[in-house]
């Protein structure tokens, strides 16, 4: 049985390589049938250049070219992999059902739609950072609480303005 240990070691190595690969290259559909959005795996380098603005990068990846962005809360898979607004609110920001280890609905966060509901820029920032709706009520814990600079908040709001409601 002298081959047993080397074989076991090789299998473990193959498994580790697979895990690393999964972390860097895993993709998940943010909504069934929609464009696939890359997860921000641990240590994933910024995809600078793939986005036309910092706000767009935050929206799709939850990372900023300016500062470190962190988030607390959100569903379990989000805590494991991170991700951007698009992972829940969809690549078009119009929301929908998120089906990933359970199911919940994310609202439309296109800028015009948020204005219609009674949000303004400060209230949008409060929703993003403190998880409060336009009236001050607490949003569900499926919406992560984001820690990002005011500049990053402005950038992501500017991006929401470019989305069709
Ligand atoms: C893991 C899923 C998830 C991610 C990622 C996420 N959200 Fe949300 N968000 C939600 C859910 C779910 C709600 C609704 C919570 C509720 O109704 O109680 C919500 C609510 C909101 C609201 C309030 C909208 C309203 O009509 O009440 C805003 C604004 C918002 N999100 C912006 C963002 C932005 C900007 C990002 C990215 C920086 C983001 N969200 C990332 C799940 C997510």
Q: Is the pLDDT of residue 10 over 70?
A: yes
Q: Is the pLDDT of residue 23 over 70?
A: no
Pair 84, 37: CB distance under 8 Å: yes
pLDDT band at 157 (very low <50, low <70, confident <90, very high): very high
Across the range 132-143, mean pLDDT stands at 98
Do 146 and 134 meet the contact criterion of CB atoms below 8 Å apart? no
* Residue-wise burial string across 85-119, b where 16 or more C-beta atoms lie within 10 A, e elsewhere: bbbbbbbbbbbbebebeeeeebbbbbbebbbeeeb
Measure the CA–CA gap between 16 and 6, rounded to whole angstroms.
Answer: 15
- CB of 127 sitting under 6 A from ligand 1: yes
* pLDDT-derived band at 15, boundaries 50, 70, 90: confident
What's the rounded mean pLDDT across residues 125-142? 98
Locus of tokens 């193959």 = 14
Q: Is 140 in the pocket of ligand 1 (CB under 6 A)?
A: yes
Tell me, using a 6 A CB cutoff, whether residue 132 lines ligand 1: no
Q: What percent of the chain has pLDDT over 90?
A: 66
The confidence score (pLDDT) of residue 136 equals: 97
pLDDT given for residue 61 in this prediction: 95
């Amino acid at each position: 049985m002298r081959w047993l240990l080397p074989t076991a070691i090789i299998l473990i190595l193959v498994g580790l390589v697979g895990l690393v690969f999964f972390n860097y290259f895993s993709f998940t559909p943010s909504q069934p049938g929609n464009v696939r959005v890359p997860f921000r795996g641990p240590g994933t380098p910024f995809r600078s250049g793939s986005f036309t603005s910092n706000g767009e990068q935050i929206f799709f990846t939850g990372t900023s070219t300016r500062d470190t962005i962190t988030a607390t809360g959100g569903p379990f898979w989000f805590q494991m992999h991170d991700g951007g607004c698009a992972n829940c609110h969809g690549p078009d920001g119009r929301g929908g059902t998120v089906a990933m280890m359970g199911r919940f609905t994310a609202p439309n966060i296109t800028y015009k739609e948020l204005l219609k509901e009674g949000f303004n820029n400060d209230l949008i920032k409060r929703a993003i950072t403190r998880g409060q709706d336009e009236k001050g009520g607490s949003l569900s814990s499926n919406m992560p609480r984001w820690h990002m600079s005011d500049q990053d908040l402005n950038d992501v709001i500017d991006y929401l303005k470019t989305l069709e409601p």
